[in-house]
Structure 1
Amino acid sequence: MRFSGGLECCSTDFLGINYYLSHVVRGVTDDETPPSQSERDGSYAFVEGKWEKICGDTWIRYAPDGLLALLKYVKETYNNIPVFITENGCPDIVGEEKKPVEEILKDTHRIKYITGHLEVVAKAIEEGCNIIGYTLWTLMDNFEWDDGFELRFGICRVDFESPEKTRTMKQSAKFYQNFIREFKKHHNLL
């Protein structure tokens, strides 16, 4: 495995990747100031990407092609180290929190997001990438470090107002349940 910065002596069992979106960046000149604080080292600037905002006005973009490119890059650059995709998912559509629960449970945008990303994971495996696992983010609505309870990533809705914290499966949970069932059948897994 090729590392830089003194990590040549280290070994690892796998690389864990949290993937939600891709960014396009460009270099900046010496006299140019990066447009945002997040471009900390001052050597690049974000370029608006072509990716769809399927979750409303949030930082998440629908960019499965970026995941495929990343997995291929890891394969080529790091001697095809085993990769575990530790987080991949999208929240409910921002701005639709006040809709009736029945409508919120019909999260077809999330099904599109999950499907697109699982398809490129399958393609990466077919192309020889050493993918050893995938974790959908997340099974239930939870507390997000940057967004608190505002962004709901769960495929099961949690009613944080009820004393029992009632959980209800969204359409995406039923989709994912069926996907796993069919995958297990197709691959003769327990």
Structure 2
Amino acid sequence: MTVSPAPQPGLPASAAPTLRPVLPRDIPALAALNDAAAPAVNVLGVDGLAALLPRCDLALVADDGSGTPQGLVLALTPGADYSSENYRWFSEHRPGTLYVDRIVVAPTAHGRGIGRSLHDAVAERARALGLDEVTCEVNLDPPNPQSLAFHRRLGFEQIGEQSTNGGAVRVAMLVRAVAAPDAR
């Protein structure tokens, strides 16, 4: 899958990265991008990211051609072999959804539509799989108000809360309906 996001107003077309599947050569840079985003996402390191990728139904990188990934999204289908507390919560409370395990955008690329493009690709994949919803979580404590506002702008609604990591993290459980292919 290669998707070219629409350029954002005021940015040249060359500023819009292409979405493409994660390649093995991307793993070190994506692990660094992911780990720099902690505590908004959990640290994986190269080995953790490499172990997670085969479990993902969708693993996309936003590539601007510079050799430095600008964004990442990882999503899992129902029934994946994944022990995440949040994935298990959605499997129990909202089965049959495409779960976004993480979405990370480089701070230097914020405001360029990359996060929206990554989520649009997830919604497209959910529709292709015949799934009606996309799920994810966003930290409430430690707080991540920018991510929560971003997800609300995309149409995500909070359907629950959960404490994870032995109570060290509290997250909002979010869901977004995706239109059926014939309804678009």
- TM-score norm. by structure 2 comes to 0.32
Query: Under a length normalisation based on structure 1, what TM-score does the superposition of the two structures give?
Result: 0.31
Higher strand share: 2
Over alpha carbons, which structure has the higher Rg? 1
